[in-house]
């Protein structure tokens, strides 16, 4: 489930945003102040922030700058919502602090397209795009994984790990990076827990002879290699 936090003080805009996003099956949270948003993000980071520039109290831009300075939130996807009249001349340097911006008034279609583009770019596994690796298919909307059309039963952590890997093929991730991804960077968990989870995911994949795709990279960590499946299917 992809969660979007709306930070906006105009009720009519909030309503438009909420209706548009819920129709796309996003989970929507909302607040009208940057200060409350800061707390909400600290408690549970959303997958994307839709941030109004002009807010009572701290501005949306100030919040974006604060978020970019924190390790935990510096990669949080942010789309800034700006008002044409007041801010048109200032948006030039905005990309330093946010991933994209949209000017009021905007169409729901434009909004949806921009959200999808930012999510796909920033956090591939947060988007609703189905992923495929050979015979393996992962559907982020239904949280289901199929192998050659047959349902593969996975626990929630295994699903999250697989989703992360499938969205980033060919890249090596350390145990620490995987810990942050699957459990969150505040979790007090030992690195060897990652190995246990990887083993469980491999066991599930092995029932369909797909476990070779999840490679161990000696001294570094793990890598998702979708090409490995071809070797296996060729010998079946």
**Closest of 123, 212, 224 to residue 173, by C-alpha:** 224
Shortest Å distance, C-beta 17 to Ca ion: 12
Shortest Å distance, C-beta 29 to Ca ion: 18
Find the part of the chain contacting Ca ion (CB under 5 A) among 4-12, 138-146, 165-173, 213-221. Answer: 4-12
Total Cβ atoms within 10 A of residue 216: 12
Distance, in Å, from the CA atom of 174 to the CA atom of 157, rounded to the nearest integer, reads: 17
- Any contact of residue 125 with Ca ion (CB under 5 A)? no
Find the part of the chain contacting Ca ion (CB under 5 A) among 9-17, 62-70, 165-173, 209-217. Answer: 9-17
CA distances to 83, 84, 100, 133 from 89, rounded to whole Å, are 11, 9, 16, 45
Residues of this chain, 36-95, that bind Ca ion according to CB under 5 A: 52, 54
**CA diameter of the chain:** 65
Shortest Å distance, C-beta 104 to Ca ion: 9
Return all residues near 126 (Cβ < 8 A) that are at least 6 apart: 2, 47, 48, 119
Distance, in Å, from the CA atom of 202 to the CA atom of 225, rounded to the nearest integer, reads: 13
Residues of this chain, 176-235, that bind Ca ion according to CB under 5 A: none
- The DSSP bridge partners found for residue 78 are 49
Find the part of the chain contacting Ca ion (CB under 5 A) among 8-16, 24-32, 108-116, 208-216. Answer: 8-16
Which is nearer to Ca ion, 9 or 128 (by Cβ)? 9
Contacting residue, 3, 9, 66, 112, with Ca ion by CB under 5 A: 9
Tokens of 30: 């909302």
Find the part of the chain contacting Ca ion (CB under 5 A) among 1-9, 91-99, 157-165, 180-188. Answer: 1-9
Which is nearer to Ca ion, 60 or 221 (by Cβ)? 60
Distance, in Å, from the CA atom of 37 to the CA atom of 51, rounded to the nearest integer, reads: 9
Shortest Å distance, C-beta 69 to Ca ion: 23
Q: Taking CA 78 as the corner, what is the angle to CA 169 and CA 32, rounded to the nearest 5 degrees?
A: 145
Question: For Ca ion, how many residues bind (rule: CB under 5 A)?
Answer: 3
Which residue's CB comes closest to Ca ion?
Answer: 54
Which is nearer to Ca ion, 4 or 138 (by Cβ)? 4
Q: Taking CA 153 as the corner, what is the angle to CA 152 and CA 158, rounded to the nearest 5 degrees?
A: 105
Which is nearer to Ca ion, 80 or 126 (by Cβ)? 80
Which is nearer to Ca ion, 54 or 91 (by Cβ)? 54
Question: Do residues 12 and 19 touch, judged by C-beta distance below 8 A?
Answer: no
Contact positions toward Ca ion, by CB under 5 A?
A: 9, 52, 54
């Amino acid at each position: 489930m992809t969660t979007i936090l709306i930070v906006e003080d105009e009720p009519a805009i909030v309503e438009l945003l909420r209706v548009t996003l819920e129709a796309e099956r996003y989970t929507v949270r909302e607040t009208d102040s940057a200060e409350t948003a800061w707390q909400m993000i600290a408690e549970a980071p959303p997958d994307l922030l839709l941030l109004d520039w002009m807010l009572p109290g701290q501005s949306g831009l100030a919040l974006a700058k604060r978020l970019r300075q924190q390790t935990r939130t510096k990669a949080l996807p942010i789309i800034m919502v700006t008002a044409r009249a007041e801010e048109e001349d200032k948006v030039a340097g905005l990309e330093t602090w946010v991933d994209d911006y949209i000017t009021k008034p905007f169409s729901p279609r434009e909004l949806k397209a921009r959200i999808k583009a930012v999510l796909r770019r920033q956090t591939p596994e947060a988007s609703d795009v189905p992923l495929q690796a050979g015979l393996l298919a992962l559907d982020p909307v239904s949280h289901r994984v199929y192998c050659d059309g047959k349902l593969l039963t996975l626990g929630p952590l295994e699903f999250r790990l697989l989703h992360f890997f499938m969205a980033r093929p060919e890249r090596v991730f350390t145990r620490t990076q995987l810990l942050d991804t699957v459990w969150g960077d505040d979790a007090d968990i030992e690195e060897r827990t990652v190995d246990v989870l990887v083993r469980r995911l491999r066991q599930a994949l092995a029932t369909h002879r797909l476990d070779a795709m999840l490679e161990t990279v000696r001294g570094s960590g793990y890598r998702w290699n979708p090409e490995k499946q071809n070797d296996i299917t060729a010998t079946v």
